[in-house]
Amino acid sequence: MSRRPITIRILRTGSRTDELLGCVARRFGSECLRSDGFGAVHIDVTGRPATTWDQLRDVLDAAGSDWRQWLHLPPRPSGRGT
């Protein structure tokens, strides 16, 4: 199965952002996270995009309800391949 990126945007930098990205890295593996240096973090994942998006959202929700102040997760993928 091929790897597909899910891109999250960093809205605010700081220690909380680092904590949130650390939670994501623990779940998906630090080797799967790539920062573009312009405020986007690409998470290379395998599997169905919608299922993986749900897992990513669960990780962020478990890290605290304030994650939306620090990161932007685009809408859940839908359609073919989900």
Show me where the domains of the chain are located: 4-72
pLDDT at residue 49 greater than cutoff 90 = no
φ and ψ of 15, to 5 deg: -65, -35
pLDDT of residue 80: 53
- DSSP class of 56: H
Asked if residue 70 lies in contact with residue 16, where contact means CB atoms within 8 angstroms, the answer is yes
Q: What digits encode the pLDDT tens for the residues 7-17?
A: 999 999 999 99
Q: State the pLDDT confidence band at 47, using cuts at 50, 70 and 90.
A: confident
E-assigned strands of 1-82?
A: 4-10, 33-35, 40-45, 71-72
Q: Worst-scoring range by mean pLDDT, 4-13, 26-35, 40-49? A: 40-49
Q: CA-to-CA distance for 26 and 4, rounded, in angstroms? A: 18
Q: Residue 52 carries which side chain, given as an amino acid letter?
A: T
> Could you write out the DSSP letters of every residue in 19-39?
HHHHHHHHHH-GGGEEE-SSS
| Mean pLDDT computed over every residue of the chain | 90
pTM (two decimals): 0.87
Task: Quickly state the pLDDT bin for 82 (edges 50, 70, 90).
Answer: very low
